[in-house]
A and B are shown apart, each in its own frame.
Chain A
């Protein structure tokens, strides 16, 4: 029997962007409020899981033609890379710094190198979650 998922699929099209926006908000907020790379990454992954539920693996692969194992590796490389920067400046490994910058629209913002480490965490969490789900979900 061919099932009709039109309600689920239409709702997903709207809800997906709300979840993605919220996950990015969570990610950038981590320094001053609850949030950060881990929860942000999990939420982004959960948005993609919703996409997997509403459509199928092939569809998600067409939308996001990336190998999530490589996303994990890229995240790890980013996180370790922020530590490697300390070799250039002659400071202890994983030292961090921050400064205030003025942007055209957003005004004055604090930018910390800890964010770069968090980008690594974010990518690793997305990569690992989706690798697990896709590997289990695929038929042999």
Chain B
């Protein structure tokens, strides 16, 4: 079918629009958005196999050939991330059914959830850099609304900062696109990649533009020293929304760095990728310092989001096949497991009635399932072999060693250890220790809250155990990134 590639964008968009007509019919909203999310999972997994069998799929919107029209490109990296997004969004949607209060549900929660997914999926699939900006804005505007949705005092305060930072970074994004258009005269990524190869004399200005894009995507994706806005604003909204933010939003920024730094800006890798490597290392270190320092469970987890950004971008900066594969594995793993952890922490806060570690304790007595699921998720996050974090980290280490970045590999190992410390501290203090709960449902119940995280942990275990099966897919994705010619040929059809 001609239009297959656009279906992952169209399904959530159309669902969101239809839901706008019936804001008060909450049951209808739940049923329709559930059907749409399941459909999205099916369609995107089908696309994975289509890309695997028939190579990169493209769709020229309106029948205009690239570079003149907008083209949607489903290469392996994009479509793997779209599938992961669809699974995470399904789990978070299920969690929302039980955790979002009726008042919020009646005021367009589900439509904006769907629009957020539209933006994320669109950003993954587009092959045009200005279209990427537009999908970023679709995603961000939906996220502005979701972060303030409900209007509690802390949400209002944090959303103000969040909007301010993102408006500034979006303006920088437009400026970067304008510079790039002035130098290269095109906005299609494949065409850009080809043009930049022939613009040797313009190399210094292209390097400047590359760094400008790094700043923009670093602001969106929380790279050191541009992550300052993230911890407070991700801790503010309800845990379902925080989960979707932590699992998806920063990853779109990382994906954009991934894409631009492997397809477009490859003219002066000695400089640009060295900057990326150093910033990635500092991101790991500063993220983990935050995770160790905090006593609030939400804050600890939010700082772990920043650590993962560092890991993935280090893989990108190595420019080796192992590094790329490690980054892709780790990116997929991190989307799933961060989703699971945010949902579990959300459930923990519900049953403990507080998010402060000092006021929790002994949760395992009444909530054993929750406790052991949290423990499994932590093991997966850190990368204990049968679970999903291991293979990504192993490949990242291999890539780092073969690129000769020994110090950064060392920093990575140390911060992994500290990630383990920061998370296991939640387990030991929150689930063991002095029992603070007298009855099972003293503050709230976990009804319906455990199944979504169980799905995500199962997917994580699947990624870990089925790494052998997943390997050819990831290898294809890494190969496309390592050899931009494949991407260019598929898009421009030369």
Residue ranges of A at the interface with B (Cβ–Cβ < 8 Å): 69-70, 72-73, 76-77, 80, 83-84, 86-87, 90-96
Contact = CB atoms under 8 A, between A and B. Distances in A.
Given A80-B13, A86-B3, A92 B62 contact: yes
A94 B62 contact: yes
Contacts, number: 42
A97 to B, nearest CB: 10
Contacts of B63: 91-92, 95
9 contacts: A70-B20, A76-B20, A84-B14, A86-B3, A90-B2, A92-B3, A92-B61, A93-B62, A94-B61
A87 B60 CA distance: 14
A73 B62 contact: no
Contact of A73 (B3, B20, B59): B20
Contacts of B13: 80
Identify the 6 closest CB pairs spanning chains A and B, nearest first: A73-B20, A94-B62, A76-B17, A93-B6, A92-B63, A95-B63
A94 B14 CA distance: 14
Contacts of B18: 77
B17 A73 contact: yes
B212 interface: no
Nearest to A97: B63
Interface string B30-73: 00000000000000000000000000000111110000000000
A93 B60 CA distance: 8
A72 B60 CA distance: 28
Given A91-B2, A92-B2, A92-B62, 20 more contacts: A69-B23, A73-B17, A73-B21, A76-B17, A76-B20, A77-B18, A80-B13, A80-B14, A83-B10, A87-B3, A90-B2, A92-B59, A92-B60, A92-B61, A92-B63, A93-B3, A93-B59, A93-B62, A94-B61, A94-B62
A93 B14 contact: no
Contacts of B62: 92-96
A95 B13 CA distance: 18
A69 B107 CA distance: 12
Q: In the complex, which of the residues B3, B10, B14, B61 has the most CB atoms of chain A within 10 Å of its own CB atom? A: B3
B21 A70 contact: yes
Nearest to A96: B62
A123 to B, nearest CB: 12
A80 B13 CA distance: 9
Contacts of A77: 17-18
Interface string B1-23: 01100100010011001101101
A88 B6 CA distance: 15
A7 B60 CA distance: 56
B17 to A, nearest CB: 5
B17 A80 contact: yes
B10 A80 contact: yes
Nearest to A70: B21
Contacts of B6: 93
Contacts of A96: 62
Nearest to A90: B2
Contacts of B17: 73, 76-77, 80
Q: Specify which of A72, A73, A84, A96 lies most central, judged by the most chain B CB atoms within 10 Å of its CB.
A: A73
A22 to B, nearest CB: 30
A14 B17 CA distance: 36
A14 B14 CA distance: 40
Contacts of A69: 20, 23
A91 B18 CA distance: 24
Contacts of A92: 2-3, 59-63
